[in-house]
Structure 1
Amino acid sequence: MTGEDQRPRTRRLAAWTTRRWLRVGVATSLVVLTLLGAVGGVVLGRTQSISDDLTDVRSPALSTAFRLETALVNQETGIRGYGLTGTADFLTPYRQGLADQEAHIRSIRELVHGDPARLADLEAVENAVARWQERIARPVAAAPAGAPSPAAAERLADGKAAFDDVRAALENQQERFRADRVRARADLESTMVLRNWVFGAIALLIVALAALVFEGLRRGINAPLEHLGAEARLIAAGDFDHPITPTGPADLRRLSGEIESMRRRLVHELAFTEEARLRLDAQAADLQRSNAELEQFAYVASHDLQEPLRKVSSFTQLLKRRYGSQLDARADQYIDFAVDGANRMQVLINDLLNFSRVGRVHNAHQSVDLDRTVDETLSALSVPIEEAGAEITHDPLPTLVADPSQMVMLWQNLIGNAVKFRRPGEAPRVHIAAAREDGLWRFTVTDNGIGIPPEYAEKIFVIFQRLHTKDVYSGSGIGLAMCKKIVEFHGGAITIDPDYRDGARITFTLAPEPPQIPGPSAAPEEVLTAEADARR
């Protein structure tokens, strides 16, 4: 076969998959083992046939031939004794010999019924016996008992030659049976030797097939898989630029190609991710700078704006006290508007400053007894609670790891809202409940106030979002937004129960311990205070 003929054949074999190699290997092994099994079966059958012929035919036939000779010798002995003495007792072995003769001849005929040569030998024996019995045995046995008969003695003299023919036929038969048995034994021995060689060859071939299958699996499957696993481990260890070389059958090469394609996509995604990370780092740095500037602005603005507001409020009130008698009612009203606006602006600035501080400063997480915190909050709100005639109750509350100041702001806003947004002519009733649920503490603040429509359940937690005008209910619109920020900073969530209709029910969760305490602000408050003081 030329090299050009071998190349297409090599390409065809290279296209075989692991399953096809296994099918061909198993089919070939089964065919070879089947052929060997068939040969072994033939040899075993031949061995069994020869053994059965030897044990069931040749040996029994030879032994029966010997017994037939004994029966005929007994007949000849009995006839000879009767002819010489005339004593009737000598006829007993003769008659027994006749019966044994019939039985042995019948047995030999059954044993060699399929062997014409041995049947011919048996027929020769029967003919010789028949001639002897007809000429000698029957006439002598028919003579009367008593004195010896001269005729019987004469016949006995001739009978020796006739019985010699019987002996010769018997010896010929026995010699043939001996020769048959010797040949059967020789055939059995040679067949057993062949059987041993055949089964030895089968055993060797099975071992060779097992070795070939093992080596084929090692080279065709195990080695490529180990190679693929080693290269995959290199990639998993961080060497993403290491290419995967396809080896083995077609399906394993396809698998290697798919993993190589996945590696290339991974390298591309990692490059894209690294680029995105660099962009995010740059944006995070920009955001950190921006937050620091915003924090600085918020704190400085709170100081810089509150000072002129205090001046406006103070001098406006001085103006009213000194010149109030010289101004009309409309001027007094304008002055009241100016003072009220300055005061509300100051409250708004303080609320904004507190809102910006949540999660940024005062992150002094420590063990906080919420029972004590709520009692302190009720004490701080004692005036509006007393004015409204509110009834505040609460279940036993847990102890958490949290920021104490933020917990105070949380409960002040929630309880303050429940007292403030009451129904006209009805005393507020507020109840605080707490229960452990899925590793968190779930709190509910339930009141009998004006309630919150379900469509505004998300809107009320947005800063500056209000459901009522300032004339109806006072406030800056920052309270619930600050509550949401505090709760989320402590690893929880806050929401409105839309199914509660007898007022408002606010539900929120808090973690027993904070999930992560944010780092300090980019600009410490002491520095901001110093900068604000420098500006003033």
Structure 2
Amino acid sequence: MTSEEKQPRTRGLSTWTTRRWLRVGAAVSLVVLALLGTAGGWVLSRTQALSTDLVDVRSPALTTAIRLESAILNQETGIRGYGLTGTPEFIAPYEQGLTEQRASAADLAGLLRGDRAALADLEAVQDRVARWQEMIARPVAATPPGTPSPLAAARAADGKAAFDAVRVALSGQQERLRADLDRARDDLTATIALRNWVFSAIAVLIVVLTAFVFEGLRRGINQPLEQLGTDARTIAGGDFDHPITPTGPADLRHLSGEIDFMRRRLVRELAFSEEARLRLDAQAADLQRSNAELEQFAYVASHDLQEPLRKVSSFTQLLQRRYGGQLDARADQYIDFAVDGANRMQTLINDLLDFSRVGRLHNAHEEVDLDEVLERTLSSLSVGIEESGALVTHEPLPSLVADPTQMGMLWQNLIGNAVKFRRPDQAPEIHVTAAREGDLWRFTVTDNGIGIAPEYADKVFVIFQRLHTKDTYSGSGIGLAMCKKIVEFHGGTIAVDTTYRDGARITFTLAPRPPENPGPSTLPEASRSGPEQA
């Protein structure tokens, strides 16, 4: 076969999958084992048949032939003694020999069924014995006892010749039976040797087949899987440029190709992720720097605005006190607008200063008992609480490692908002709870006030975002933004529970310990997309 003829078959075998190799290997193994089993069965059957023939036929046949010969010899001895002496005692061996002859002949005929040559020898023996009996034995036996038989002397030569013919026939029969017995023994010996060779060959072939199976599994499955595992461990160790070597059957090569494709895609994704991370780090650094600059700007701007604003506020108040009522009504209104605007600006600047100080000036973490902080907050808000008739209750609060000033600002803004945004016809009821959730504490501040519409649940945490006019509810709109900044600085989150409809419920989480790298203080940009509020 040429190499061009071998090449297509090689390509065909290269497309075989593990399942196909296993099926073909199992089929070939079963065929080989079936052939070996058939050969072994035939050898065993042959051995059994030869052994049965030797034990049950050939050996008994020779023994029976010898008994037949002994019975005929007894007849000849008895007839010869009776013919020479006329003594009746010699008739007994003759008659016993006749009985044994018939029994032995019948047994021998039964043993030699199907063996025409042996049956022919038996028939020849019986014919010659019958001729001798007819010529010598029966006539001599019929002679009266007491005197020698004259017929025995007269036919002595013919009797000897007839019985010699019997001897020849018996000898031929026994020689054939001995030859058959020897041949059966030789066949049995040869068959036993063949059986031993066959079963030895079966054992060797089973060992060889088992070795081939194990070697095939090792090379076709174990070795490719070990190579794949080695490559995978190399890649998992960080060498993502290490290629996957496809080996083994088609399906394992396909699996290796898929894993290598995944590796190449992972390399691309890692490269892209690394590039994105670098860009993100740069952006984070820029954002952190920008936030720091923005906070510094807010602090400096608000601090520097304090002095001119105090002058404007002082002189507008002085103008109001000195010239109030001396000018026309329009002038008094303008003066009132100026005084009110200066006061509002003063409040906004102070709130902005407080907002910028969170995480920058107030950053002294220590063990804080929130129960005590809340009690101090309620004491500072006692005037507003008494005027509104508010009822503030709380569950036992935990102790945390936090900044005590920021915790006070957090409770003051949350409780103050709950008191301020109350229903006109109902006294405020405020309840504070705390529950452990994994590594965090979750707190809730629930009131029965006017509530927060779900569409404004995110906007209320934006700095300077107001949902009502200053005439309806006072304030600068910085309270919840301050709470958000404080909570996030302590590693938590804050949100409005939009499922609560009987007022407002603010939920926030705090960590028992401060985060290792608290997020940079940020100054959220004021959103003007929401309603200025009515």
How far did 1:300 drift?
0.6
Q: Deviations over 1:197-244 (max 9, x none)?
A: 333333333444444444444444444444444444443333334444
Partner of 2:512, secondary structure, is: coil
How far did 1:28 drift?
3.9
Q: Distance in 1 between matches of 2:48 and 2:360?
A: 100
- With 477-486 and 387-396 compared, the bigger mean Cα shift is at 477-486
How far did 1:376 drift?
1.5
On the 8 A contact 2:391/2:428 being kept in 1, the answer is yes
How far did 1:386 drift?
1.4
Q: Distance in 1 between matches of 2:89 and 2:367?
A: 135
Q: Corresponding residue for 1:460?
A: 460
Specify the code of the residue in structure 1 equivalent to 2:197: W
Change (3 A) 1:133 1:372: farther
Q: Corresponding residue for 1:150?
A: 149
Q: Distance in 1 between matches of 2:167 and 2:125?
A: 8
List alignment gaps of at least 5 residues for structure 1: 523-536
Q: Corresponding residue for 2:269?
A: 269
Partner of 1:59, secondary structure, is: helix
How far did 1:172 drift?
2.2
Q: Corresponding residue for 2:190?
A: 190
Q: Distance in 2 between matches of 1:519 and 1:440?
A: 17
Q: Corresponding residue for 1:396?
A: 396
Instruction: State the aligned residue count.
Output: 521
TM normalised by structure 2 equals: 0.84
How far did 1:53 drift?
1.6
Q: Distance in 1 between matches of 2:463 and 2:359?
A: 16
Specify the code of the residue in structure 2 equivalent to 1:68: L
Q: Distance in 2 between matches of 1:381 and 1:142?
A: 162
- With 308-317 and 434-443 compared, the bigger mean Cα shift is at 434-443
On the 8 A contact 2:444/2:505 being kept in 1, the answer is yes
Partner of 2:42, secondary structure, is: helix
Specify the code of the residue in structure 2 equivalent to 1:504: A
On the 8 A contact 1:361/1:520 being kept in 2, the answer is no
On the 8 A contact 2:234/2:242 being kept in 1, the answer is yes
On the 8 A contact 1:136/1:155 being kept in 2, the answer is no
Listed as ranges, the matches of 1:273-288 within 5 Å are: 273-288=273-288
On the 8 A contact 2:303/2:353 being kept in 1, the answer is no
Q: Deviations over 1:322-373 (max 9, x none)?
A: 4446456655554443333223222223333333444555343333222222
How far did 1:505 drift?
2.9
Q: Deviations over 1:292-341 (max 9, x none)?
A: 21121011122012222222222322333444464566555544433332
On the 8 A contact 2:143/2:149 being kept in 1, the answer is no
The answer to whether the aligner puts 1:347 opposite 2:347 as a matched pair is yes
Q: Distance in 2 between matches of 1:469 and 1:479?
A: 15
Q: Corresponding residue for 2:527?
A: none
How far did 1:159 drift?
5.4
- With 479-488 and 55-64 compared, the bigger mean Cα shift is at 479-488
On the 8 A contact 1:83/1:156 being kept in 2, the answer is no
Change (3 A) 1:34 1:74: same
Listed as ranges, the matches of 1:201-240 within 5 Å are: 201-240=201-240
On the 8 A contact 2:299/2:352 being kept in 1, the answer is no
Specify the code of the residue in structure 2 equivalent to 1:45: S
List alignment gaps of at least 5 residues for structure 2: 523-534
How far did 1:58 drift?
0.9
How far did 1:113 drift?
0.6
Partner of 2:392, secondary structure, is: strand
Change (3 A) 1:28 1:502: closer
Change (3 A) 1:22 1:236: same
Q: Corresponding residue for 2:526?
A: none
The answer to whether the aligner puts 1:56 opposite 2:56 as a matched pair is yes
The answer to whether the aligner puts 1:309 opposite 2:315 as a matched pair is no
Q: Distance in 2 between matches of 1:69 and 1:457?
A: 128
Listed as ranges, the matches of 1:168-183 within 5 Å are: 168-183=168-183
Specify the code of the residue in structure 2 equivalent to 1:408: G
Change (3 A) 1:264 1:503: closer
Partner of 1:442, secondary structure, is: strand
Change (3 A) 1:498 1:247: closer
Partner of 2:423, secondary structure, is: coil
Specify the code of the residue in structure 2 equivalent to 1:238: G
The answer to whether the aligner puts 1:371 opposite 2:374 as a matched pair is no
- With 499-508 and 106-115 compared, the bigger mean Cα shift is at 499-508
Listed as ranges, the matches of 1:75-154 within 5 Å are: 75-76=75-76, 94-139=94-139, 147=146, 150=149
Change (3 A) 1:457 1:137: farther
Q: Distance in 2 between matches of 1:312 and 1:483?
A: 31
TM normalised by structure 1 equals: 0.84
Q: Distance in 1 between matches of 2:63 and 2:203?
A: 40
